Amino acid sequence: MTSAADNDGAGQIDLHTHSTASDGTSTPQALVRAAAETGLRVVAITDHDTTGGWADAARARPAGLTLIRGAEISCRWYGIEPSIPLHLLGYLFDPEDPPLVAELARVRAARVVRGERIVDLLRADGVDISWDEVLGYAAGGTVGRPHIAQALIRAGLVGSTTEAFAPHWLGERYRLPKDDIDVFTAVRLVRDAGGVPVFAHPRATRRGRTVPDSLIVELAAAGLAGLEADHPDHSPDERAHVRRLAAELDLLVTGSSDFHGTHKTVRLGAYTTGPQMYERIVDAAYGVPPL
Ligand code: AMP
Ligand code: ZN
Ligand code: FE
Ligand code: FE
């Protein structure tokens, strides 16, 4: 059984954060420094579909802070029509594993295609933003809708990233699917690269459709290691549901802030993972060590 106590305890462990290597606003260096200043004992850098922030985060890691290198992988469940996007956190995998490297590169390229199409749709409706401007905000990192949101803010059309994700904008009207990685493929790729796959915010109904529990049962059988229960986009009921499911399936449970800097209001360390759960992740990994 897991209990609330699994996510309490000594030492703060935040296993889901974004930097400027994707759609966060803190550089990887600033992220690890802020993590130490906030009093975290462990932080994971989990940018979307990239390991591009790992080296800078590792170099800037303050003594006393453990860095878990990871990524948040854009996946999709194709077992239902229309298919459902979902996010898989991969921890401590080998960043040079050729099949995984190839899939991450492919999905980053798919993000470019999708992002440019969204900008075309906006421009066709008279919105004065450009793809070059959006790429400028991404600054070489993985491009995502928050960078388009930045352009909408600059154009004076919305006041915040949250507003830019309203149904009238990027949340629905200008939301296009991207060519994500099949979730079963992603679980296998992360495991084969020595990493540990954890399903990010599996019940975040406020973000859109979520997958049924029956899929999580199948993913657990296919190598999924854990579920993220405590997350800003989960209601208390959703957190409890995820914990129950994890206990039934003997999956580990995590809690994390999903920090994105000023793109979101959540603080680093706002949600944390318990030490026992953290140890299970470290023990299951053989791709790269914690630093
Ligand atoms: P993308 O990866 O391009 O599909 O964009 C998804 C990202 O947009 C997420 O990782 C969040 O950073 C951000 N996002 C999604 N929904 C919202 C929201 N309602 N408010 C603010 N940011 C959001
Ligand atoms: Zn994001
Ligand atoms: Fe996510
Ligand atoms: Fe995230």
Q: What is the largest CA-CA distance in the chain?
A: 55
CATH of domain 12-107+180-284: 3.20.20.140
Which of 111, 165, 174, 258 to mutate for ligand 1's pocket (most ligand atoms within 8 Å of CB)? 165
pLDDT tens digit sequence for 96-106: 999 999 999 99
Q: Do the Cβ atoms of 28 and 62 come closer than 8 Å?
A: no
- Burial class (CB within 10 angstroms; exposed 0-12, middle 13-18, buried 19+) of 140: exposed
Helix (H, G, I), strand (E, B) or coil at 76: strand
d(CA 213, CA 84): 13
Q: Which ligand is nearest to the CA of 146?
A: 1
* Atom of ligand 1 at shortest range from CA of 114: 3
Share above pLDDT 90 across residues of the chain, in percent, rounded to a whole number: 93
Are 115 and 143 in contact by the 8 Å Cβ rule? The answer is yes
Q: From 113, 92, 11, select the one nearest 45 (Cα to Cα).
A: 92
- Indicate which atom in ligand 1 lies nearest the CA of residue 144: 3
pLDDT tens sequence across 183-225: 999 999 999 999 999 999 999 988 889 999 999 999 999 999 9
Structure confidence at residue 180 (pLDDT): 97
pTM of full prediction above 0.85 = yes
Q: For 136-184, what is each residue's pLDDT tens digit? A: 999 999 999 999 999 999 999 999 999 999 999 999 999 999 999 999 9
Where do the structural domains in the chain lie, given as residue ranges? 12-107+180-284
| pLDDT tens-digit series, residues 113-131 | 999 999 999 999 999 999 9
Higher pLDDT, 11 or 255: 255
Q: What is the per-residue pLDDT across 9-51, written as a single tens digit (0 to 9) for each? A: 446 999 999 999 999 999 999 999 999 999 999 999 999 999 9
Question: Ligand 1 pocket by C-beta < 6 Å: which residues?
Answer: 23, 48, 144-146, 161-162, 165, 207, 260, 264
The number of angstroms, rounded, from the C-alpha of 248 to the middle of its chain's C-alpha atoms is 24
